[in-house]
Amino acid sequence: MVDVVDIKVGYSCNNDCFHCVIADKRRTLLKEEKSVDRSTKEVFALIDEAASDGATSIVLTGGEITIRRDIFEILDHVKSKNFHHINMQTNGRMFYYKEFVERIIQYPNVHFTVALHSIYEKDHDWITGSKGSFKQTTQGIKNMKVAGVNNRIGAKFVLSKKNFNIMPDMIKFTKELGCGSINIAFPHAMGNALLNFYNCIPKYSEIHESLTKAINVSKEIKQHVDFEAIPLCYLQENEAYASEFRMSDHTKLRDLSHSDENYTKTRKTTAKLKGPQCKECKYFLICEGPWDDYVHGYGFEDLVPVKGKQITNINELPSFKERAINGY
């Protein structure tokens, strides 16, 4: 049974991020003089399909969905289908405009995941390739908070060689801005991130210190944080901070270039890899390992098996006693 349907509405975007995973697909379509966006009718058809699949959650992403002229038609259509959870992934720049905020807050079931990649204007604008984007995104989050969208905004920080050392500061900054949580994602080397591989993708050993400090800061100031695509050997004793344990059991992906009927399975069995040494690790049965493209660039050498009896049930781990996960 499908839990989540992830719909990419198109590739148009008002940012051009250094780590963007769809930038190559957009360039290919533009070269072929094809549309980089789905039509309203096509988006509606995918929403209808998700509803008839019985999905409880829907993720709307792009590109940047908020710059579409039909954004409110799409939201009206989603609203009519009674999904339990609606997540919109956005760079939040449109929230800078109060008229836009007044309209979008009319959809109380929508949760917003807002991409923010630095505490510094200069660095964020460099990463997004868009001067002024930091000002718009940060003011946008504040505007949404003032409008009462308190616990429905989470930040998304894609770490890279340009910003991994500020992870602890990002935890504080997002709390001050009014984000209820922050998801810190290790970059997936596709699109621009692949093009910029050795300038963009850090090694796990490089980010370890900043990551550990970030977890400590999050505990101190009580800002919820989770980490995506970080092998458990780099989250030791904080395993419950791995976002994979909170992901759905069955996500269906509807990208423009391809569809995946069970992306969860693809992620666990194909898109991520473990090294030969992983068999000796106590996390072997519960860890997904890094993205395959990380291994293609850096090999397995940074994966460090953790000694101990193999863990089969995450509830055996103390970190899950602090951060219980429903369904486990």
Tell me how far apart the alpha carbons of residues 318 and 157 are, in angstroms, rounded to a whole number: 27
Q: Does 164 bind ligand SF4 (CB under 6 A)?
A: no
SS3 86: strand
Number of amino acids touching ligand SF4 (CB under 6 A): 14
SS3 317: coil
Identify the residue among 283, 291, 294, 298 touching ligand SF4 (CB under 6 A): 283
Of the listed pieces 31-39, 83-91, 211-219, 228-236, which binds ligand SF4 according to CB under 6 A?
228-236
Q: Does 240 bind ligand SF4 (CB under 6 A)?
A: no
| CB-nearer residue toward ligand SF4: 176 or 316 | 316
Q: Does 200 bind ligand SF4 (CB under 6 A)?
A: no
SS3 114: strand
Identify the residue among 231, 263, 295, 298 touching ligand SF4 (CB under 6 A): 231
Task: Provide the CB-side half-sphere exposure for 153 (13 A, CA).
Answer: 30
Identify the residue among 9, 233, 253, 317 touching ligand SF4 (CB under 6 A): 233
Could you tell me if residue 255 is left (phi over 0), alpha (psi between -120 and 50 degrees) or otherwise beta? beta
Q: Does 126 bind ligand SF4 (CB under 6 A)?
A: no
Contact between 15 and 91 under an 8 Å Cβ cutoff? The reply is yes
Q: Does 173 bind ligand SF4 (CB under 6 A)?
A: no
Residue 212: exposed, middle, or buried by beta-carbon count in 10 A (0-12, 13-18, 19+)? middle
List the one residue out of 30, 5, 260, 4 whose CA is nearest residue 13: 30
Q: Does 140 bind ligand SF4 (CB under 6 A)?
A: no
Which residues of the chain form contacts with ligand SF4 (CB under 6 A)?
231-233, 274, 278, 281, 283-284, 287, 289, 303-306
